[in-house]
Amino acid sequence: MNGRVLTTLFGRMEEKLYLCILIVQKPMAQKLTTEEMHRMTVDEFRASEKLPLTVVLDNVRSQNNIGSVFRTADAFRVEHIALCGICSTPPHREIHKTALGAEESVEWSYAEDTVECVRELKGRGYRVYAVEQVKDSVKLGGPCLDTLLSQPQAAASSPNLGEQRNSKVLQQNPSGSSPKLGEVDARSADGGVCGLRVAIVLGNEIEGVQDEVLELCDGALEIPQYGTKHSLNVSCAAAIVIWELFKKLKIEN
């Protein structure tokens, strides 16, 4: 707003302009309260429909990375995490630091040998993909992923595999009702694409997915990258891939 004011300065009348600035501050966005987020309890989570996705961690060393994967898996209601090889298992102080309790809600199991874990999942009819940079990998975000997931689902090759599990596979049962490794959970979604059940394998922070495991996988998924590193932290990679598959496989809220 413009105006004029007359002031006396050293005995003379001078005319000055003044400018009045009116600042209107918009109200700040208010964060949602816990009640407004409608968070599930652990028991409600366990009883809810799950995304037909199993996450296999192949010799992931960092407990903080493992905890972060648990937290992402909780966010998108992933049905199962398989911890393999040198992976630490809950309860663990360092896992809890990043999982923030998600290790209590998400079902998990431990297997000494990732190869045996993947074989069992394939025997259960899961389609297993490594998250790795290899030749002929399928880039996330493109039409090839839709084509890949729309292919007919193969039938399980060994319906009794769960009863014939290698003794090295140790099942953890935090809720008292955890499914066996790779077992179809009746509470899980039927699969958003042709009843598809998917498992993804994420590898060690330095070595990636083992070559022996890659040979067993049905394919590889790759996150397109355009910088100087072409490398993401394993927990970050897990979050991106889980989100992309969540959009394809779908579950009801």
pLDDT of residue 161: 29
Provide mean pLDDT across the span 237-250: 94
Q: What domains are there in the chain, each with its CATH number?
A: 50-249 (3.40.1280.10)
Provide mean pLDDT across the span 5-9: 47
pLDDT at 18 over 90: no
Which of these ranges, 24-28, 57-61, 122-126, has the smallest mean pLDDT?
Answer: 24-28
Instruction: Write down the mean pLDDT value for the chain.
Output: 82
Q: Is the dihedral of CA 36, 93, 55, 238 positive or negative?
A: positive
pLDDT of residue 119: 98
pLDDT of residue 186: 36
pLDDT at 168 over 60: no
Provide mean pLDDT across the span 30-51: 91
Max mean pLDDT range (127-136, 138-147, 182-191): 127-136
For residue 18, the tally of other CB atoms under 10 A from its CB is 10
Q: Confidence class of residue 56 from pLDDT cuts 50, 70 and 90?
A: very high
Distance from C-alpha of 44 to C-alpha of 72, rounded to nearest angstrom: 17
